Amino acid sequence: MNNLCVLVMAAGKGTRMKSDVPKVLQTVLDRPMIDYVIRNVQSAGIEAQNMAVLVGSGGEQVEAHITKSFPGVKVLWQHEQLGTGHAVKSAREWWKDYDSLVVLNGDLPLMKNDSLKRLIALAGEKDCTVITFEAENPGAYGRIIRDKNSVSIIEFKDADEQQRKIHEVNAGCYAFKVKSLLSVIDKITNNNAQHEYYITDALGLMNDSGMSTGAFIMPESEMQGVNTQRELANVSRVMRDEILERFMSNGVRIADPSSVYIGADVEISPDAVIMPNVQIWGKSSVGKNSVIGSGSILTNANIGENVHVIAYAVIENSTLKDGAKAGPFCYIRDNTVLEKGAFAGKFVEIKNSTIGEGSKVPHLSYMGDATLGHDVNIGAGSITCNYDGQSKHPTHIGDNCFIGSNTMFVAPAEVGNGAATAAGSVITQRVPDDSLGVGRARQKNIEGWSLHNHNRN
């Protein structure tokens, strides 16, 4: 692995995707497919400074993503898409001083780390080693032509009828000795049906010069490229099934695997229960003995042990600590914390707030930018009026408070320990400890109003 670099090819337009989003940024589950490739390379022990991504069509979007998500990885440009040989040549100034170069396609999210390590280990053994696979339906893949001591590749459009019957095909991944590649890269021509410069022609040129070329076959399941939305869906399904199988093998109960989606970065402890139609994304984690109810969507959610997310809860960038309870039909977001045993119930939204230990927001309420102490009960229909049109303001509610239904807290607002508010109150001033805050108009009854206005007899 000494003095080895990895070039990820991401310059193609992906015309058949029918999308303005560059192909390598199309998502597999919840991550762009190129992320899986780069992370695989990193897991194989390649440091960021020895990795580059070659961009072209839609390159600004890809470059912005790589710069943000993988600092240190070099972004190189192929300003004209003239074929894979031209692409590798476009990056020559970057790779020419290394001993070995590994070239990977950016649309191979299913490649296993062990397979990549095998390819890296082969770098330097031959002048070029290519990854191949036996395709059930070889389609338009380049065909592998094996000789006794060498390997060559012929593109589908240049292959004759007999060659097209070959099922061993090119996966588009190579390991080169840099010195050998430098000796042939300028000899590649575009004398073919597509009038493009193919990196595959490098193998033929090496063979003609007496260099060594070889190939090793990998499972077709790892080599599924993505060129259409259908292929993207198929790869996502395979990835999902692999992730679910791993969790179930580790003791996680998934009631209906066919309806559950879990991202690659999620962590779930044994004895957790995932009910049907659940989605869990991002850096989410679910602790032991917790239940995630049907229809719930978790994104970057930290779920402790013995938590019950009842059903149809949306939880984003928030934490539910041990024994907390949420749902059904609640929205918890933006750095909210439900402390131990806290509860967010039906038709409740909580944003950027801390709900103290044992506290309850049972139904039809909004808590935004609020801090609740322990053992607080929020009555139905209560809200924090946290936004004045320009800025957000906090609400602080102390321990052991009882908030009457339909209380409006005009933030900044504060309620002391042991205090209460009367139902229907608008709280604009601090409520002291152990006090009752009442902020509502006195009721006035107008006798005979209905008879007068509705002409009743």
Measured between alpha carbons, how far is residue 268 from residues 140, 173, 263, 328 in Å?
A: 40, 34, 11, 21
Backbone angles phi, psi at 4, to 5 degrees: -120, 145
Told to judge if 393 belongs to the known catalytic residues of this protein, a careful annotator would answer no
Angstrom distance (rounded) from CA 354 to CA 396? 10
- Following CA atoms 228, 247, 280, 331 in sequence, which dihedral angle do they give, to the nearest 10 degrees? 160
Catalytic residue selected from 65, 86, 308, 363: 363
Tell the burial category of 186 from Cβ atoms under 10 Å away from its Cβ (0-12, 13-18, 19+): exposed
Q: Which two tokens stand for residue 231?
A: 């292929």
Active site residues per annotation:
363
